[in-house]
Chain A
Amino acid sequence: GQQLNQSPQSMFIQEGEDVSMNCTSSSIFNTWLWYKQDPGEGPVLLIALYKAGELTSNGRLTAQFGITRKDSFLNISASIPSDVGIYFCAATGNQFYFGTGTSLTVIP
């Protein structure tokens, strides 16, 4: 079935650094979503993308819907300690799919 390949699986970065993660698939999707999950909490929607090529920002976060509709990336600029958590991509095609997550650790 359709599968979202999310990378990297984990990241350890210094505070202030920029972060980039992506999701790819062999299938085409109509919507891409990015969530953040804090420890002990449920996922919270960060950014939703609805059109191929769309670039959307939410504060220090920027996400893009790939032009081929098969991928998406999320960038975080100037990371801070509270950015720690697991970031998930999700996409809607004929069904709804989640990625496996990128675990982000920010070292002060």
Chain B
Amino acid sequence: ETGVTQTPRHLVMGMTNKKSLKCEQHLGHNAMYWYKQSAKKPLELMFVYNFKEQTENNSVPSRFSPECPNSSHLFLHLHTLQPEDSALYLCASSQDVGLESYNEQFFGPGTRLTVL
């Protein structure tokens, strides 16, 4: 495995379900990110982790709960989502955090989430 992988690639869930998205990076990076990508909108940064510690939470609703057990794995736990949460959720990693590190992010393929 190389780069940044995400599972599942597609997920359909009801508003009362609980599910989790998984991201794994094989690049030896220290920082990991969750983004939300909706049609015709810029990528929205959700969370940033550095060495397992959350360094940024961009006012994300509590129905999204991130978890970073180590610098190679990042999860996004989902519960009681709304239909407007349907989107592509992208994970990314970089060597470190900081503005310059955004220039060197590697993205995973994303999880296409549909909330019914």
Contact = CB atoms under 8 A, between A and B. Distances in A.
A9 B39 CA distance: 12
Given A41-B110, A42-B110, A97 B92 contact: no
Interface residues of B, number: 20
A92 B92 CA distance: 16
Residue of A48, A94, A100 with highest tally of chain B CB at under 10 A:
A100
Nearest to A40: B109
A9 B110 CA distance: 22
A24 interface: no
Nearest to A93: B99
Given A4-B42, A100-B42, A42 B99 contact: no
A34 B112 CA distance: 23
B45 interface: yes
Contacts of B40: 9, 100-101
Given A92-B99, A92-B102, A44 B107 contact: yes
B4 interface: yes
A104 interface: no
Contacts of B100: 31, 92
Contacts of A4: 42
Given A40-B112, A41-B110, A92-B103, 13 more contacts: A31-B100, A40-B9, A42-B90, A42-B91, A42-B107, A43-B90, A90-B102, A92-B99, A92-B100, A95-B99, A98-B43, A100-B41, A101-B42
Interface of B: 4, 9, 40-43, 45, 90-92, 99-100, 102-103, 105, 107-110, 112
Interface of A: 4, 9, 30-31, 33, 40-45, 48, 88, 90, 92, 94-101
